[in-house]
Amino acid sequence: MDRPFRPDTIFVEQAVESYPLTGSVLERCPGVPVVMVHDAAALVKQFQDDPPAGFNGKRNLLLCRNRGRFLEACPGTGRAYRCCQYLILNTGLGCPLACTYCVLQAYLNNPFLTLFVNRDDMLRELERSARLAPGRFLRIGTGEYMDSLALEHLTGFVPAIAGFFRQRPHLRLELKTKTALTASLQEHDYSDVFIVSWSLNAEAICSGEEPGAAALPERIMAARDLIDRGYRVGFHFDPLIAFDGWQEGYRATVELLKKHIPPERVAWISIGSLRFMPRLKHIAQTACASTAIYTGEFVTGLDGKMRYLQEIRLELYARLVGWLREYGPDIYLYFCMESPYVWERIMGAAPSSNWELKRILDCSISGCPRETCAENGHG
């Protein structure tokens, strides 16, 4: 994002008017029109059924309570593909970055950019979950239903939640972003609390398909800046896209990493190729007439999602993994939602189960030796 996001209008559910987070968001958006609404669910339904002409949900912020769960398991699909058993912390729904491949376009039925302001409820639920799994390492992330940092300047989420996580070292929060909005992480040292990770792609994809995100070099420089402040970072090459010139494109991105990011400060790199629910194609192409990413050779995968033909995925992965191994031979590389067959072909071996993959990743973060961690209670 060139400039931090500023909504066109803020809709506030009456019941949350007095919540501290509501107050601070409104304070940080002076001059933005505010509309009080009695019932957020009714408002969402109304705009979903019949959005007013020209309405752009990504420009309209809704502040309301989360009446459901804050913490949920990553919706990794089926048994055919390995999933790292990540936990998702729902701080809100929707994202202003508007990536053309974003699954949220088909996944969410709420057209508003929504922030849940009942943060105390969120912390209580986190506490309960942590108590249910005593001593177990839990990797939690906020970047699933929204970029983790895109609204940080409005929410102050990082400083507000850092203390909670610092007191519970077995909970580790990943902030996953495509922005360079790291001010709150620079102001204080939270390197023992958060892992910050960036989604990377080839320059052509970053500039063409991620219109609201920071340019690729900005992301890498933001990562470098946090590394210099003592943080460990992660990267996600996801979604890989087989566009004309992908080899040069991804190679150049790895070169940028090589130039600016010391590999020993990288906690992991995940890799995944574009996959999507069939209905996303129409929705995304309607939203962005110029995108051509859905015209690749996609077939229906074992989980019903569209994926590149396996031989194309193998080709993408083989090249990228080769370059990444050259860059950082000791960095833990893993696939997001890939089959054991693909793991074996590219990495030489597949985690025997989702739990095994979780254990390896937990170790990469906690620093505990992989060979013994099963006894130490990880996984």
Instruction: Report the interface residues with ligand SF4, using CB under 6 A.
Output: 95, 97-99, 102, 104, 146-147, 178
Token code pair at residue 327:
């860059």
- Bridge partner list, 173: 140, 194
CB of 98 to ligand SF4, least distance (A): 6
CB of 132 to ligand SF4, least distance (A): 28
Closest CA to 224 of 253, 257, 255: 257
In this structure, the number of other CB atoms found within 10 A of the CB of residue 304 comes to: 10
Residue 83 binding: pick among ligand SF4, other proteins, none (C-beta 5-8 Å cut-off by kind): none
User: What number of chain residues touch other proteins (CB under 8 A)?
Assistant: 38
Binds 147, which of ligand SF4, other proteins, none (CB < 5 to 8 A, cut-off by type)?
ligand SF4
Beta carbon nearer to other proteins, 115 or 202: 202
Q: How many H helices and E strands in the chain?
A: 14, 16
- Partner from other proteins, ligand SF4, none contacting 348, C-beta within 5 to 8 A by type: other proteins
Residue 74 touches other proteins, criterion: CB under 8 A: no
50 binds, among ligand SF4, other proteins, none (CB under 5 to 8 A by kind): other proteins
336 vs 350 by CB, closer to ligand SF4? 336
**Contact partner at residue 200 from ligand SF4, other proteins, none, CB < 5 to 8 Å by partner kind:** none
Spell out a b/e string for 63-92, using b for 16 or more CB atoms within 10 Å of the CB, else e: bbebeeebbeebebbeeebbbbbbbbbbbb
Q: Which does 102 bind (CB under 5 to 8 A by kind): other proteins, ligand SF4, none?
A: ligand SF4
Distances (CA, A) of 183 to 164, 195, 245, 335, 364: 20, 15, 35, 30, 26
By CB under 8 A, residue 321 contacts other proteins: yes
- C-alpha 326/C-alpha 257 separation (Å) is 11
Residue 113's nearest CA partner among 164, 158, 147 is 147
Residue 247 contact among other proteins, ligand SF4, none, beta carbon within 5 to 8 Å by kind: other proteins
Site stretch for other proteins (CB under 8 A), options 30-38, 205-213, 220-228, 341-349:
341-349
Residue with tokens 């994926």: 307
Q: Which is nearer to other proteins, 126 or 206 (CB)?
A: 206
Residue 251 binds other proteins (CB under 8 A) = yes
Binds other proteins (CB under 8 A): choice among 248, 259, 352, 374: 248
Contact predicate 227/261, CB 8 Å: yes
DSSP secondary structure letters along 110-163: --SEEEE--HHHHHHHHHHHHHHSTT--EEEES-SSS-SSTTHHHH-HHHHHHH
In the list ligand SF4, other proteins, none, the entry touching 9 (Cβ below 5 to 8 angstroms by class) is none
- Within 8 A by CB and 6+ apart from 39, the residues are 13
**Residue type, position 51, single letter:** P
Element (H, E) at 194: strand 194-200
Binding to other proteins by residue 77, rule CB under 8 A? no
* Residue number, 47 or 145, with CB nearest to ligand SF4: 145
Please compute Rg for the chain using Cα positions: 20
Secondary-structure breakdown of the chain: helix, strand, coil percentages, each rounded to the nearest 5 = 40, 20, 40
Residue 183 interacting partner from other proteins, ligand SF4, none (CB closer than 5 to 8 Å by kind): none
From 88-96, 104-112, 117-125, 292-300, span contacting other proteins (CB under 8 A): 292-300
Please, what is the minimum distance in Å from the beta carbon of residue 318 to other proteins?
4
Name the burial class of residue 250, with classes exposed (0-12), middle (13-18) and buried (19+) by CB atoms within 10 angstroms of its CB: buried
DSSP string, 53-110: TT--GGGEEEEE---S-SEEE----TTTSB----EEE-SEE--TT--TT-THHHH---
One of 123, 283, 292, 373 touching other proteins (CB under 8 A): 292
Q: Which is nearer to ligand SF4, 74 or 104 (CB)?
A: 104
User: Least distance to other proteins from the beta carbon of 335, Å?
Assistant: 13
Residues that bind other proteins (CB under 8 A): 49-51, 53, 80, 247-248, 250-251, 285, 292, 294-295, 297, 299-302, 307, 309-312, 314-315, 317-319, 321-323, 325-326, 339, 341, 345-346, 348
